[in-house]
Amino acid sequence: MVFERNIIVTGGAGFIGSHVVRRLVSRYPHYRIINLDLLTYAGNLENLADIESSDNYVFEKVDICDAKEVGRVFDQYDADSIIHLAAESHVDRSILDPLAFINTNVVGTANLLQCARMAWGENLEGKRFYHVSTDEVYGSLGDEGFFTEETSYDPKSPYSASKASSDHLVRAFGHTYGLPVVISNCSNNYGPHQFPEKLIPLFISNIVEKKPLPVYGKGENVRDWLYVEDHAEAIDLIFHEGKMGETYNIGGENEWSNIALIKVLCTQMDQKLGRSAGESNALITYVKDRAGHDFRYAIDCAKIKDALGWSPSMTFEEGLAKTIDWYLSNPEWIERVRTGAYQAYYEQQYTHR
């Protein structure tokens, strides 16, 4: 079968990547989707069990830092596009092991850019290099204001600095070599299949197990939360209709202090688990703050709304309920992703707080 497009999605076995792959495979049977993922601790092919036998889906276990293998995938599938999500993505891990983030997020992205150049040569018609990034590159806000596409970069953690570096490399390859690049920077995602090291899934599983809920500092830090399928929809739209060379901010217009969010989560969990009101609240435990903890992220997403007609569609109440229901219905998923490596990380991260 000849496909209209051959799209490499890196990190397709991860949280957001798996929602992107599912969406593209299901909506565009005339596209071939090549999921390129190393399957680190965060990659899980079970996330894609429902679409893995589709004719327009292939999986390649490849490290984005491996030039030979990435080049082979470009050539073998005649790839015309790449949607790049593969990354080390957890801030706390970047504080424990920054060089792993430099390697994957900076060197890996540079390698993909170089491989795209080599594969595509002068023939850039219809080609696309879409880099999926984070709002954390802009740094930290006080009580007021929003990040726009014009906000200067001011990353503060090894994770955000590595993502900022990768964004700069993508723009540099666009500017210098004319590579058709586009970037989006999104706020905090939540939803099914998120690895239980991030706030919402970690706290859901700790509540189920009646384990302490480790709130960093005073719990006053603010995040903007977007349901993962809304992000996947925005990525689909930017891939198809975004202007090459542009940046789009994506946000949920849904800001919560951590402690307020955690209290809502506790209330919903008590109701769903048939526990008495306040039972999960009692698990809240204030622990030592994250080093260099960014205070607030908030996105002005007027550009993507005006230019592409996107806006978040899921309310937080509904999205959180769907997320909790998914985790409660899939305890074996959590059990299986909690490998020995994850247990060791959990011990290191939380034992001395």
Which amino acids are annotated catalytic? 135-136, 159
CA distance 45 to 221: 33
CA distance 260 to 130: 35
Which one among 34, 79, 87, 115 touches ligand NAD, defined by CB under 6 A? Answer: 87
Q: Per CB under 6 A, which of residues 173..202 are in contact with ligand DAU?
A: 187-188, 198-199, 202
CA distance 94 to 24: 30
CB of 304 to ligand NAD, least distance (A): 14
Q: Which amino acid is at 148?
A: T
Evaluate whether 223 touches 258 at the Cβ level (below 8 Å). Answer: yes
- Tokens linked to 78: 């005649």
The 222-261 contact track toward ligand DAU, x by CB under 6 A, reads -x----------------------------------x---
CB of 42 to ligand DAU, least distance (A): 10
Q: Per CB under 6 A, which of residues 123..142 are in contact with ligand DAU?
A: 134-136
Check the CA dihedral 250-318-28-55 and report its sign. Answer: positive
Torsion angle, CA of 222/226/228/230, rounded to 10 degrees?
Answer: -170
Q: Which does 155 bind (CB under 5 to 8 A by kind): ligand NAD, ligand DAU, none?
A: none
CA distance 77 to 5: 10
CB of 151 to ligand DAU, least distance (A): 14
Q: Which does 108 bind (CB under 5 to 8 A by kind): ligand DAU, ligand NAD, none?
A: ligand NAD
Which one among 85, 200, 204, 304 touches ligand NAD, defined by CB under 6 A? Answer: 85
Binding-site size for ligand DAU (CB under 6 A) equals: 19
CA distance 333 to 151: 39
Q: Which does 202 bind (CB under 5 to 8 A by kind): ligand DAU, ligand NAD, none?
A: ligand DAU
Q: Which does 223 bind (CB under 5 to 8 A by kind): ligand DAU, ligand NAD, none?
A: ligand DAU
If one asks whether residue 206 binds ligand DAU (CB under 6 A), the answer comes out as: no
Distances (CA, A) of 163 to 147, 166, 221: 16, 5, 21
The 126-165 contact track toward ligand NAD, x by CB under 6 A, reads ------x-x----------------------------x--
Q: Which residue has the tokens 């899934």?
A: 201
Evaluate whether 185 touches 138 at the Cβ level (below 8 Å). Answer: yes
CB of 65 to ligand NAD, least distance (A): 6
CB of 70 to ligand NAD, least distance (A): 9
- Tokens linked to 56: 């327009």
- What one-character DSSP code corresponds to residue 277? T
Burial of 194 (0-12, 13-18, 19+ CB in 10 A): buried
Which one among 7, 9, 13, 337 touches ligand NAD, defined by CB under 6 A? Answer: 13
Evaluate whether 8 touches 36 at the Cβ level (below 8 Å). Answer: yes
Residues near ligand NAD (CB under 6 A): 10-11, 13-17, 37-40, 42-43, 63-65, 85-87, 89, 104, 108, 132, 134, 163, 186, 188-189, 195
